[in-house]
Structure 1
Amino acid sequence: MEKAILGAPFVCQIAMIVRDAQKAASRFAELLNVPVPQVVTANADGSDTVTYMGRPTEGRVKLAFFHLDNVVVEFIEPTEDPTTWKDFLAEKGPGVHHIAFKAKNRMLETAAELERFGYPLIQHGDKYAYLESTEELGVILELLDID
């Protein structure tokens, strides 16, 4: 049997695009009866090199993470920077944006394999890559360079 492109099929994260990350995090925390996580602005300092549709972008975004027993739930509030998150909200409104798989030390290699499989790379930073698979799978695939 051939090795799967994504390696071990382990979903580590599900992410939703929202209009207000603080409001969504507060409501989700209330639903689960857990503390509200801090909302952070990713790449506020510009330290991550972000590319969207082949062009550099600041790639700033507001994020809230819930580290549950079996998966991380992420709420994403786009900024005005050109990103897949901003376009998703403008075109589809709030909703599930991506599911993520771990690709430690194999992110770019796996992204290249997925591109050959027919899912083009649409955005990436130093530790993540998004591949367009919504037409067939209904969701974007994310590769995370994490343990």
Structure 2
Amino acid sequence: MENSILGTTFVCQIAMIVRDVEKATRRFAELLGVPAPSVIMANEDGSDTVTYMGQPTKGRVKLSFFHMENLVVEFIEPTEDPTTWKDFLDTKGPGVHHIAFKAKNKMLETAKKLEEFGFPLIQNGDKYAYVESTDDLGVILELLDID
């Protein structure tokens, strides 16, 4: 791991952009035979400091999380706020947006290393950072500052 730019191989989340998070949540719960988790409006109160393409944004988004045995599956419905989520839906439609790696206490340090590697930081909040790696990897990478 010493030579790893990411500093981890721990994938903790896969996230999909959808047009209707309530429908996606309900259908995935039906598929799995589990209760549907709550859908939340993240950052509705503006408590998270969100930056997209170097500019501040409200960064509100509707989310649901399925806690699987080995990782979290996240469904994301963008709002009209400028974000990577809205841009993704507008340009590509629904689909896999990112895979997330646990980067506890090293999120911004790791994001800087990834930028030097050619994956620039495109959006970040207090506990997450997205880097643009789509051209090389087919997906955005997220760094999560979580336990």
TM-score exceeds 0.5 = yes
Amino acid corresponding to residue 99 of structure 1 in structure 2: I
Amino acid corresponding to residue 95 of structure 2 in structure 1: G
Runs of 4+ in 1 over 3 A off after TM superposition: none
1:29 maps onto 2:3 in alignment: no
Distance 1:145 1:70 in 2: 18
Amino acid corresponding to residue 51 of structure 1 in structure 2: T
Distance 2:8 2:82 in 1: 32
Distance 2:129 2:111 in 1: 7
Aligned position for 1:112: 112
Instruction: Map 1:85-96 onto structure 2 (within 5 A).
Output: 85-96=85-96
RMSD of equivalent CA atoms: 0.8
Q: CA deviation at 1:110?
A: 0.2
- Number of paired residues? 147
Local SS of the residue matching 1:76: strand
Amino acid corresponding to residue 108 of structure 1 in structure 2: L
Distance 2:41 2:128 in 1: 16
Distance 2:2 2:72 in 1: 29
What is the CA deviation profile of residues 64-97 of structure 1, one whole-angstrom value per residue up to 9, with x for unaligned ones?
Answer: 0000000100000000000000000000000000
What is the CA deviation profile of residues 90-145 of structure 1, one whole-angstrom value per residue up to 9, with x for unaligned ones?
Answer: 00000000000000100000000000000000000000000000000000000000
Aligned position for 2:132: 132
Distance 1:144 1:108 in 2: 10
Distance 1:104 1:88 in 2: 26
Instruction: Map 1:4-83 onto structure 2 (within 5 A).
Output: 4-83=4-83
- Does structure 1 retain, via aligned residues, the 8 Å contact 2:127–2:144? yes
Amino acid corresponding to residue 66 of structure 2 in structure 1: F
- Does structure 1 retain, via aligned residues, the 8 Å contact 2:128–2:143? yes
Amino acid corresponding to residue 30 of structure 1 in structure 2: E
Distance 1:9 1:63 in 2: 25
Normalized against structure 1, the TM-score is what? 0.98
Structure 1 unaligned blocks of 5 or more: none
Amino acid corresponding to residue 68 of structure 2 in structure 1: L
Aligned position for 1:98: 98
Amino acid corresponding to residue 105 of structure 1 in structure 2: N
Normalized against structure 2, the TM-score is what? 0.98
Q: CA deviation at 1:2?
A: 4.2
